Amino acid sequence: MGAERKWLLTLFSAAFLSLIILLFSSISAFSFSKPFPSIVQVGSHYPPAFAYYIWGGRGDCDRIFRLLLAVYHPRNRYLLHLTVEVSEEERRRLSGLVKSVASIRAFGNVDVLGKPDRLTYMGSTNIATTLRAAAILLRLDSGWNWFITLTAMDYPLLTQDVGTWHYYLCSSAVLFLKRQMHIHTPMRTSNGH
């Protein structure tokens, strides 16, 4: 009887110890208190990093989140802005959606603007808000090369990888000149002959 008790005591002790180790390891695995150290490298020999300012109005929470997921890459920085007309509930919902994605939590490169601005498509408020967003993004992280503004209505035409290599291979002067030449190119139409 004494050998049987020692064997059971050893078995239960080992099981209890294993359970405690399993609980501590699972608790630490689900703890996201600090982001992973960034493995993103910046410099002239690496692809460029983008700063995205994505904004929308009332009812645009899901579209902004879908757009964020479409253009998301760990190299980039993102600032999401819901205008002043949006309810606080929708603002919290967007924040919750952003926090629900493990990779976004891990890299910590997406921020939701806390104090909303009134925004219109036309006029100086759009320009002022865009400049404010650029200033905030520069304050958060100045390691980006290009600033891109998107609204909830936009959807990317190029994937992140194609767009990155396009900007990496071209200098900013060439891109500006190509765009200007495209604007001034006369449009030719066929008269049906």
- Bridge partners for 148 per DSSP: 52
> Per residue of the chain (193 residues), what is the pLDDT tens digit?
566 777 777 877 878 877 777 777 666 555 455 555 556 666 677 788 899 999 988 899 999 999 999 899 998 999 999 988 889 999 999 999 999 999 899 999 999 988 777 766 677 878 888 899 999 999 998 888 889 999 888 865 555 665 666 666 665 555 554 444 444 444 444 555 4
Helix, strand, coil percentages in the chain from 3-state DSSP, rounded to 5? 50, 10, 40
Tokens of 172: 């900013």
Q: How far is CA 31 from the centre of its chain?
A: 21
pTM of the model: 0.63
| Strand arrangement, sheet containing 146-151 | 110-112, 77-82, 50-56, 146-151
**R_g of the chain, CA atoms, integer Å:** 25
- Cβ count near 50 (within 10 Å): 20
Where do the domains of the chain lie?
A: 50-157
